Structure 1
Amino acid sequence: MTPRINFENDRSHNLAADEMRANNRKLVNAEIFVRQSDTQRFSTTLSDLSVSGFKMNCCTSLDFEKLVFITLPRLQTLAAHIRWVQYHDYGCEFTVPLHPAVLDHIVAGLR
C-alpha cells in the first residue's frame, strides 16, 4: 500500500509525482460525483485518469483515512484511496485498477 502524502505546502511535487507515476494519465475535464462513507454525494471535477487512479479538484475537505467513492457517467461507482493532496487537488489510487479497455471507454465518453 502506498503511503499517503500531504503536499499542501510543496509546489514541487508535480515533477516528483510524474516521475513516480506507474501509469500514463489521460487528461480530462469532467464533472463526477464523490462521496465518503459519512457524507452525501457531491459533484467535483475530474482532471486526469489512469488505470491506477485519478486526480480531482475538490473544494470539500476529505478524510485521508476513508475511501472515496466516485461515480463516472455510465459506469458503476469506483472506490479509491487518497494518496496526496495539494490545496484542492486530490490524487487517488483505485482499490482495483481499471482494465486499459475500460479506461479508454471512460475517456472516450468524457470527451
Structure 2
Amino acid sequence: MKFDPIIPSDEAADRATPRAGVTIICDVRQGSRPWASARLEDISPGGFRIARLVGARQDVPLRIQIPGIQMLSADIRWIRDGAVGCAFAEPLHVAVFEHIVRSAR
C-alpha cells in the first residue's frame, strides 16, 4: 500500500513511519468540553493532524473517535494556525492504521 507523505514542518523530515493524507470526519473531546466534529487530514501509526480545533490546549490530553475504531487517547504536540498535531498515547497497530487509510479512500 502506498501512502502520500504529508510533512507540515521541517522537524517532520526525520520521520521513519508512514504517513497518509486522508479526510475523515471524527469526534474529538478535550478534557470535560463537549464532543466536537473535526476533520482529520493526516495520520500515521504514531499520530495525526486535525485541520482545526478551536480552543485546543497543549496541556490537556484529548480523546478521538475515528469511525469504526475504538476511542483513542492522544496528546497535542503542536498548534499552528488552528491546526493541531497529536501523538497517540499508544501507537496504532499497522493493521489498524492501514484499515483507517483504506476506509478513508
The answer on 1:65 being equivalent to 2:56 is no
Question: 1:98 matched to which residue of 2?
Answer: 92
Select the residue among 77, 85, 88 that pairs with 2:82.
88
Equivalent residue in structure 2 for 1:48, among 39, 42, 49: 42
SS in 1 for 2:8: helix
Q: Which whole-Å CA distance do the structure 2 matches of 1:15 and 1:58 have between them?
A: 17
Structure 1 runs of 4+ with >4 Å offset: none
> What is the 5 A alignment of 1:10-29?
14-29=8-23
The aligned residue for residue 31 of structure 1 is 25
Distance in 1, Cα, partners of 2:67 & 2:75: 20
Aligned residues, how many? 99
TM-score, normalising length: structure 2: 0.86
- Structure with higher RCO (Cα < 8 A, 6+ apart): 1
Deviation at 1:56? 0.5
2-structure distance, mates of 1:107, 1:14: 19
CA distance in structure 2 between the aligned counterparts of 1:36 and 1:101, rounded to whole angstroms? 27
Find the counterpart in structure 2 of residue 74 from structure 1: 68
**Aligned-pair CA distance for 1:59:** 4.0
**Paired residue for 2:4?**
none
What's the RMSD between the two structures over aligned residues?
1.5
- Identical-pair percentage: 33
